[in-house]
Structure formats: C-alpha cells, structure tokens
A = this chain, B = another copy of it.
Amino acid sequence: MTVSLDQLQAFVIAAETGSFSAAARRLHKAQSAVSTQISNLEEDLGLALFSRAGRSPTLTPAGERLLLEARVILDRREHLIGVARSFEAHVEQRLVVAIDEIYPERIMAEVFAEFAEHFPHVELELLFPMMEDVSRLVLTGKADLGVMWRQEILPTELGFQTLGWVPIKMVCGKHHPLAKVRVDWEDLKRHRQILVAAHSDGPEKQRLRVAPEVWWVESHWVILQLVRQGIGWAFVSSHVIEASPVAADLVIPELQFDDFDLPVAVELVWHKQRPCGPAAKWLRQRFAATRI
C-alpha cells in the first residue's frame, strides 16, 4: 500500500479539527473511514502522526512536520485542477500586456492584483515600451493588449477604447531659467526639451515637440533625473512627477498661455483579428471599468 491523497486529506483535516470524528463529518464520511485511513497512513509511513493519549488526538512532532508536507501536496493537487480548468475554459496560458509608463502605476497594481486572483494560472508578461512601440507590439502579435497614449493615426487592424485622460505638466529643474518666470510658448522654444523616445519612428514621436533643440530619452524616470540636473525641460504626466524620488528638486512653472495641462488620452489597444481569451477579455473590462 502506498501513501494516497485521500489519506493525506484525512490527515490534514483531522489535524485541523483536532478530532477524527469531526474530520469525518467535514468529509461526509463515517468516523471509521477516517480512523482507518489515518491508521493506514501511519503504517505506511512507519510512525505515529497522532498521539491518542488524551480524549482528542494531538499531533506528534513527526505529525507536525509531515502536516506541512501533506498540505503542500494537497495544495498542489488543487493547483493542478485549477490549471486543468483554465484549459477547459480556454483561458490563455500566457498573456503579454504592453503598458506605457504614463499609465498610473497605482491603478495598474490594483488591476493586476485582481487579475492574479481571477486567473492564478495565467503566466503574465508586462512590457513597458514607449509610446507607439505599444501599438507596434500589439500589431505584430508580440503583445495581446496594450495601454498607450492616444495616437492620431492608429493602424486599422487595431481596436481601441479610451480609458481616461492623464494630465501632462511642463516640468523643469529647481535652478532652471524657466523655474522662476511665468513661462510663455516662446520661452519653451528657447530651451532644450527632453522627449520620450520610442523605438519606432512615427509621426506621433514628434507630436509634443515644441523646441528645436531636443533630447530623446526612453524612460520617464531618467527624463526626470535629467530635468533635475537642469539639462532641459519636459512634458511629463503628473503622477510620474509625484511618484518620483526627485520630486522635491523639480518645479512645475506657471504658464502664461492658456493653462497648459494638455490632458493626454490613454487608450486600451488590441488586435481586432486575434481572438481574445477569457483572461484578456476580463482585463479589457477591468481596465475600462477603472477611469483614471
């Protein structure tokens, strides 16, 4: 005879309830069944799991230790069944989501925390490319879903939906010449602008370009580091500025022209022809339900 899952189940429940009878009740079996199962298990293992001295059985040291192992095995069975159910429901084995850094991290974390609960068996890959790179990844099938800035021209193969608007602020370093003046449009043109760089070369890349002199940087966080050093000014979404460790050294100057806080639309993007599995569908709805 060999250690079976039923034996382990009886063992674990008995250890939890502290009584074979109670375990039998919880398992909808007769008390004798549980009693013999545990007895058999003990014989198989060659040691006593419970001490039957008193009224109710108590775990021996070996029992304590093996209880941990038994729980692991039973958990793994649940896990296996969960994975099987995912297959049954045609849940994706793997989901790749590309998200622009302008999407607020806090909300993202909430969404994916829930996702992990609903789809514990889906392997998730999160990419953080820049701007148009998101749509490129979705277009080429390297990502299943994308979250990105609204683009004027989006390939027709892609479906999209607006998630909300992220306010964009002009930001510069504490000691930058623009830090202390009311800035007008011409002032911006006179200083170096630091822009988000994307791998792909599209018209979108230039949309926020104001100054003739620009640097391209592939990370918002690095941009803020550069801005802090006084190397130039930049348009950055406010939540990135707030969450930045260098926020204290940054200034959001007053603007002379019509209160520029250009809200940028954030879009959810997917490929129309590629069918969405349940996990992707759920994510789409969840993202859409959370207005920024």
Contact = CB atoms under 8 A, between A and B. Distances in A.
A79 interface: yes
Residue of A70, A80, A88 most packed against chain B (CB within 10 A): A80
A94 to B, nearest CB: 11
B3 A80 contact: yes
Contact of A84 (B46, B61, B73, B81): B46
User: Number of copies of this chain in the oligomer?
Assistant: 2
Contacts of A62: 84, 87
A77 interface: yes
B72 A76 contact: yes
A116 B63 CA distance: 23
Nearest to A41: B84
Nearest to A9: B2
Contact of A77 (B3, B46, B85, B88): B3
> Which range contains the number of A residues in contact with the other chain?
20 to 34
A87 B67 CA distance: 13
A69 B79 contact: yes
Interface string A13-48: 000000000000000000000000000000001110
A83 B46 CA distance: 11
A5 B6 CA distance: 9
B4 A4 contact: yes
Contacts of A81: 3, 45
A51 interface: no
A199 interface: no
Contacts of A88: 45-47
Interface in A51-97: 61-62, 65-66, 69-70, 72-73, 76-77, 79-81, 83-85, 87-88, 93
Contact of A69 (B3, B47, B83, B85): B83
21 contacts: A2-B5, A3-B77, A4-B4, A4-B5, A5-B5, A45-B88, A46-B85, A47-B87, A47-B88, A61-B87, A61-B93, A65-B83, A65-B87, A66-B83, A66-B84, A69-B79, A69-B83, A73-B73, A73-B77, A73-B80, A76-B76
Given A47-B87, A47-B88, 17 more contacts: A3-B5, A4-B5, A5-B5, A45-B81, A46-B84, A46-B85, A47-B84, A62-B84, A65-B87, A66-B80, A66-B87, A69-B79, A69-B83, A70-B80, A72-B76, A73-B76, A73-B77
